A and B are shown apart, each in its own frame.
Chain A
């Protein structure tokens, strides 16, 4: 009997040590600095409230932490879309003026690998900016740092709340340097292939409700003029 107890205690201790090691593994995670923070190209910066209650519409399976909004919106309860969420939100420019509307749909990604510090979502944005045009963003989002720095501390806190200042780049591919792929639709963006990054800034998070104070930002790098000129130059026939 005592050998079984010792075995169970050993297993539990091992699992606990493994969980601690996994959570605080210094070799996983990514720097918070966005690759576009140092770009010379022109960028479009759009911000939105990452608190679901501020969205025009937010829905999920109805059993997740964040409640759908409005209350009577259809929930995504069917098996193939149960691990998905959809949000429609106002997008604001750098002066906090309404710039357009964004639709975000995300799903838990099967490529999630906690051993490698990847807690992934596959997500897309459809963005329409009146007077400018529309574009589509495709990205993987990695919430590992978010879980480690905000969610786990909130669970450990007696009140189930985390407060602080957290800024992180959640985009994790599929493009180079872990950036998102952005494809222009109409208007000024028509035909453009661009790169983008989504960042989150969180001030408060509660176990029952999720984010209480949080803002997201979409940063889209427009093709540089020099690159366009270069492409035109490349298309000229050779003199000889």
Chain B
């Protein structure tokens, strides 16, 4: 009995595979991490009312009127070395003729990010949004995330159509975030 208890105590029941976190120091403080999603290979699901073709095949989006202005996409997320490290969801909603874009990014064994993106595109086709909440490793962090569509120009036969780039800038606390935001505007 003691041996069994010892083994159960010493050997982890769950041991998640980890890729090294590729986080760099941001120029004005904080840290920065780049994610991307190769399209179409990393797209797991696209759900929206009235779409002509469903992904995956056989997906049936509810016909209820309540969900007519919502679309949900599920993706696999890659790190800067093109390795899949997580799962993300992008929600696009229309409320009072305004678009709302939310991202949730889940990185097993590290934590999750909840980001609200402003729908207006900035220079270079970027959209920027605030990191609203994080869990585990990202629990105390604030910051912002940008999303951008980058078309593939390599012309390779196996090349993806393009990729969605997500660049997260993590800041330690809300005051630092406000400072950072002000500096980036300047």
Interface stretch, picked from A30-38, A65-73, A161-169, is: A65-73
Number of B interface residues in the complex (CB < 8 A)? 58
Q: CB-CB < 8 A to A128: which residues of B?
A: 70, 91, 93, 102
* Complex alpha-carbon distance, A86 and B93, angstroms: 20
**Assuming A80-B19, A81-B85, A130-B93, is B104 touching A136 (CB within 8 A)?**
yes
Q: CB-CB < 8 A to A232: which residues of B?
A: none
Q: CB-CB < 8 A to B91: which residues of A?
A: 103, 126, 128, 134
Residue of B12, B86, B112, B133 contacting most chain A CB atoms (<10 Å): B133
A14 at the interface (CB under 8 A from B): yes
**Contact status B93-A80, CB under 8 Å:** no
- Count of inter-chain pairs, beta carbons less than 8 A: 188
Q: Type the 1/0 row for B20-54, where 1 means its CB is closer than 8 Å to any CB of A.
A: 00000000000000000000000111010000000
In the complex, how many angstroms separate the beta carbon of A238 from the nearest chain B beta carbon?
A: 24
Q: CB-CB < 8 A to A97: which residues of B?
A: 66
B179 at the interface (CB under 8 A from A): no
**Contact status A114-B56, CB under 8 Å:** no
**Contact status A105-B58, CB under 8 Å:** no
Which one of B61, B87, B107, B112 contacts A76 once the chains associate, using CB atoms below 8 Å? B87
**Contact status A81-B95, CB under 8 Å:** no
**Contact status A107-B56, CB under 8 Å:** no
Q: Which of B129-152 contact A (CB under 8 A)?
A: 132-133, 135-136
In the complex, how many angstroms separate the beta carbon of B117 from the nearest chain A beta carbon?
A: 11
Q: Which of B62-91 contact A (CB under 8 A)?
A: 62, 64, 66-67, 69-70, 72, 74, 76, 83-87, 89, 91
* Complex alpha-carbon distance, A107 and B56, angstroms: 22
Chain B residues proximal to chain A, CB less than 8 Å: 1-5, 8-9, 12-19, 43-45, 47, 56-62, 64, 66-67, 69-70, 72, 74, 76, 83-87, 89, 91, 93, 95, 100, 102, 104, 106-109, 111-112, 114, 116, 132-133, 135-136
Known: A80-B84, A86-B87. 6 other contacts (CB 8 A): A15-B4, A81-B84, A88-B47, A110-B12, A110-B14, A185-B102
Residue pairs across A and B with Cβ atoms less than 8 A apart, 25 shown, are: A14-B2, A15-B4, A56-B62, A57-B44, A70-B57, A78-B76, A81-B84, A81-B86, A82-B17, A84-B87, A98-B64, A100-B66, A100-B67, A103-B89, A105-B89, A110-B15, A112-B12, A119-B13, A126-B91, A128-B70, A134-B102, A136-B104, A138-B112, A183-B114, A185-B114
